[in-house]
Chains A and B, each alone.
Chain A
Amino acid sequence: MNQHLTEDELILHYYGETDADTARVESHLESCAECQSAKEKLHNVMALVDSAAPVEAPIGFERIAWARLEPALDRNARSGWRTFFWFPQWALAGGVAALVLAAFVAGRFSGGGAVVTTPNATVVASVEPQRVLQTAVDDHLDRTQMMLVELANADVDGADVLAGEQARAGDLVAANRVILQSAMQSGDAQVIDILEDLERVLLEVANAPANATSNDLTDLQSRITREDLLFRLRVIASEMRQRNRIDREAGDRLPRKMPTS
């Protein structure tokens, strides 16, 4: 009771996030003039923040925004993910799809996931190559994201987590390289960038020494955070899912023509 509340506790209380400590904090506030005063000062500052007028856009901004946006809308329709997946190389499908699927299927097998047989996958690839590719890439991003989440949140005392992820990381490296090659052909800088960063991290996990220490894991976690890998991966995976959904809803409008080269 005599222990004054910390500033952090007052902030959490202001936001109603003291959770289990709420009763203790409020009880203390009732009996401590000093903390009550600190609370009031905090509330006054927050009230000041709330009373501030937002910064307004320059006069005529709405017209400037449109003038800037309109050409980008046209460019946007011809670029980004649609370009990535509509690029003629993707229409080749057979070879690349088989490679992606090989890595995809290998990953599935080693990860103990659902059983997918290569012959069936090949049949699917010959029927709807782009969609199968989208699904395979989407799955690759999801599985990579899942592994990074596990690593990022792993207890640093449990360095053996690296050893447990090596086989999975190896499979993901293989799939990553195939997709990276195709992304390079399509020239999608955003995808290339994230895939290259992912490969470095995946290789680090795949090649981790048998006696990896908690420092190794901490370094890896720092890199995942520093390079915003999870966030960037989520953005790309999310765009993928949206694109796939839109394409499914709109029917298969992907070009069927075979590449000329």
Chain B
Amino acid sequence: MDERDPSVVAKARSGDRDAFRALVEMHSRYIYSLAHRMTGNAQDAEDVVQEAWLKAHKQLSRFEARADFRTWMHRITVNCSIDMIRARRHREDAHDPSDLEQGPLSERGAEAQPTPERVAASVQISDRVNDALGLLTALERAAFTLRHVEGMSIEEVGAKLGMKTSATKHSIFRAVKKMRAALEPFAQS
């Protein structure tokens, strides 16, 4: 089944399990990367992927055929990530930034067959950035990602996270300051 065929979505909407499977197999890698960016770890990202597809399956009848399916899944995934982050918010006190070296780095094996050049670049850039992101609390990371990557306004981020605008601003300020402190030496070179 050609996943790029728009009729795949239509078939999935009508309950065709194979069509839905084709959609899952086509978009799960993208969704995983997005979820990982939001949540900051592999286990949560996998859970978000699962939850996002369950939601998509339940809501598929409401998906408009003219809309872009990946964009729709992107929105669902962001929402599921936020749900997870908020549900786990209480664990933040136990968050230990010293996990930085074990946490994100331990997942690097998951990256897809990088070239030698990319490995070098990754060490210099991606790893540093991901390590820096690992310094953020879950809420700071969510607020920063929604503002910086998703391009939402601070007010929209606050609404999404159920926070007042002032609290959202401070989360973003703290996030950017941590990122800056961690990355400025590398940004200058």
Chain B 156-171 interface 0/1 with A at a Cβ cutoff of 8 Å (1 = within): 0000001010000100
User: Are A76 and B57 within 8 A (Cβ)?
Assistant: yes
- The interface stretch among A43-51, A130-138, A161-169 is A43-51
Shortest beta-carbon distance, B90 to chain A, in Å?
8
8 Å CB contacts to B: which residues of A241-257? 242, 245-246, 249-250
- Is A69 part of the binding interface, using a Cβ–Cβ cutoff of 8 Å? yes
- The A/B interface has a contact count, at CB < 8 Å, of 139
Beta-carbon contacts under 8 Å, B70-118 to A? 83, 86-87, 89-90, 104, 107, 109-113, 118
> Which of B25, B104, B107, B148 contacts A62 (CB under 8 A)?
B25
- Among residues 21 to 36 in chain B, which have CB atoms less than 8 Å away from a CB atom of chain A? 21, 24-26, 28-29, 32-34, 36
Query: Which of these binds chain B: A103-111, A181-189, A209-217, A229-237?
Result: A229-237
Contacts of A246 in B (CB 8 A): 61-62
- The interface size bin for chain B is 35 or more
Given contacts A61-B32, A231-B162, contact A53 B126 (CB under 8 A): yes
If the complex has contacts A58-B110, A63-B25, are A72 and B86 also in contact, measured as CB distance less than 8 A?
no
Residues of A within 8 A of B32 (CB): 56-57, 61, 65
Given contacts A65-B28, A76-B57, A246-B62, contact A55 B148 (CB under 8 A): no
Q: Does B125 contact A (CB under 8 A)?
A: yes
Chain A residues whose C-beta falls within 8 Å of the C-beta of B49 in the assembled complex? 65
User: With the chains together, A28 CA to B59 CA distance in Å?
Assistant: 50
Instruction: Give every chain B residue within 8 A of A231 (Cβ-Cβ).
Output: 86, 162
Set of chain B residues within 8 Å of A41, measured between Cβ atoms? 180, 184, 187-188
Which residues between 142 and 189 of chain B lie within 8 Å of chain A, taking CB atoms?
147-148, 153-154, 162, 164, 169, 172-173, 176-177, 179-180, 183-184, 186-188
Interface pair A56/B112, CB less than 8 Å apart: yes
A55 CB contact (under 8 Å) in B25, B58, B111: B111
| Contact flags A6-49 to B (C-beta < 8 A → 1, else 0) | 01100110010100000000000000000000000110111111
Interface residue A113 (Cβ < 8 Å from any Cβ of B):
no
A228 within 8 A of B: yes
Q: Is A124 an interface residue (CB 8 A)?
A: no
Q: Could you write out 14 A-B pairs with CB less than 8 Å apart?
A: A8-B173, A12-B169, A44-B184, A45-B179, A51-B129, A54-B34, A55-B33, A65-B25, A66-B24, A73-B54, A76-B54, A228-B89, A231-B86, A246-B62
A-B complex: 7 closest residue pairs judged by Cβ atoms = A52-B129, A57-B32, A44-B187, A54-B33, A65-B28, A62-B25, A58-B110
